[in-house]
Structure 1
Amino acid sequence: MGKLIFTATVSIDGYAADADGDFQWSAPNTAVFDVHVDRMAAVSTEVLGRKTFELMQYWETDPDGDAWTAAEHEFARRWRGIEKVVASSTLTAGEVGPHRVVPDLTLDELRRIVADATGVVEIFGPTVAAPAIRAGLVEEFHFFVVPKMVGGGLRALPDGVHLDLTLAEHTVFDNGTAHLRYVPR
């Protein structure tokens, strides 16, 4: 039985991407990236939407030469080693390689994915995570809060959700980014 977590990098005003869809402002420094590498060791399954899947394809193949750091190679190795479930009504099995496509990610299907997992199931991307957050299925929230206000865009959390959370862990990095881990009360 796995554990469902939601991880998001967000602006201080709560957005995962700005009004133009840009998220480059959230690029981690070395210390923050190292935390992402470490946390991937516990992830056995990644549930992500089409856009996030396409974005993360970057990590599927190592570049030629010395373009990546040792940490980037390790992140890619860990990323490639986890099961991926792509929630998409437009992608086909042939377009996602060895990964699983779920055209309609229902809460029951998500519960099955978590029940069948051998470790952490990370739901990645605010759009695909919203129904699970609304239903109270997320067991941990990991936020990497970047000290930047973007003024609008894709909200990291869905509107209308009321949850009481307890801060379980926090780290503030030299660049001002804060990693906050919350669990429901």
Structure 2
Amino acid sequence: MGSLSYTATISLDGYAADANGDFAWTAPGGDVFRFHVERMGSVSHEVLGRNTYQLMTYWQAEPEDGSWGPDEHEFARRWQDLTHIAVSETLTEADLLSTRDILLPRLDLGRLREIVDGAAGEVEVFGPTTASEAISAGMVDDFRFFVVPRVVGGGLRALPPGADLDLELVEHRVFGSGTVFVHYRRRDDNRQREAGS
């Protein structure tokens, strides 16, 4: 049985993209990227919306200029080993990158629970729009935020409006770039109530 997590890189004021839809400022570099490589070891499934799924095709093969270093090669290897769940009404089976990948027209919470229950590791939802319903339903066990030292003033919020979450801090780290990593987990009493319902 796996667990469900949500990971996002966000601005100091809580946005995953600015008002123009730009999220280039969230790109990890240096020690932050190496940290991403390390944490991928516990992930078995990645749930992505259409745009992110297509964006991550970059990791299917090294660019012709041979610009990847050891960290990029290791991330690509780990990324390709994952089962990806693409949530999209417009993608088709022919667009999938691997025979392991799964296409869902929408993120049905019952199907998501089946995936998590059958997973050998962590099922990570990437992206606030894709994760919104699962967060609101109280299904997400772990929240990992990479908070960059930037204020964007508006845009795509990292958490859905009305979300009521009782969390505890289990890990944090400050990187040389000023990015702060925080890992929160639902409190045990919340998990127990959900298990008994």
Q: TM-score range by the shorter chain?
A: over 0.9
Separation in 1, partners of 2:133, 2:65: 42
Aligned twin of 1:122: 124
Aligned twin of 1:156: 158
Separation in 2, partners of 1:27, 1:48: 17
The verdict on how the C-alpha distance between 1:143 and 1:96 changes in structure 2, with shifts beyond 3 A counting, is same
Is the counterpart of residue 16 in structure 1 residue 16 in structure 2?
Answer: yes
Q: Please list the CA deviations of residues 55-82 of structure 1 after superposition, one character each: whole Å capped at 9, or x if unmatched.
A: 1111111123431111011101100000
Aligned twin of 1:56: 56
Letter in 1 for 2:155: G
The alignment yields a C-alpha RMSD, in angstroms, of 0.9
Q: Secondary structure at the match of 1:179?
A: strand
Post-superposition shift, 1:17?
0.7
Post-superposition shift, 1:100?
1.2
Kindly report which structure 2 residues correspond to 1:84-163, keeping only aligned pairs within 5 A, or say none: 84-98=84-98, 99-163=101-165
Separation in 1, partners of 2:106, 2:8: 22
Post-superposition shift, 1:29?
2.3
Q: Secondary structure at the match of 2:139?
A: coil
Structure 2: runs of 5 or more not aligned: 188-197
Letter in 2 for 1:56: M
Separation in 2, partners of 1:116, 1:92: 24
Alignment: residue pair count: 185
Letter in 2 for 1:128: T
Aligned twin of 1:78: 78
Structure 1: runs of 5 or more not aligned: none
Separation in 2, partners of 1:19, 1:65: 33
Aligned twin of 1:181: 183
Aligned twin of 1:165: 167
Give identity over the alignment, percent: 55
TM-score by length of 2: 0.91
Separation in 2, partners of 1:50, 1:27: 18
Q: Please list the CA deviations of residues 133-153 of structure 1 after superposition, one character each: whole Å capped at 9, or x if unmatched.
A: 001100000000001001111
Separation in 2, partners of 1:153, 1:54: 21
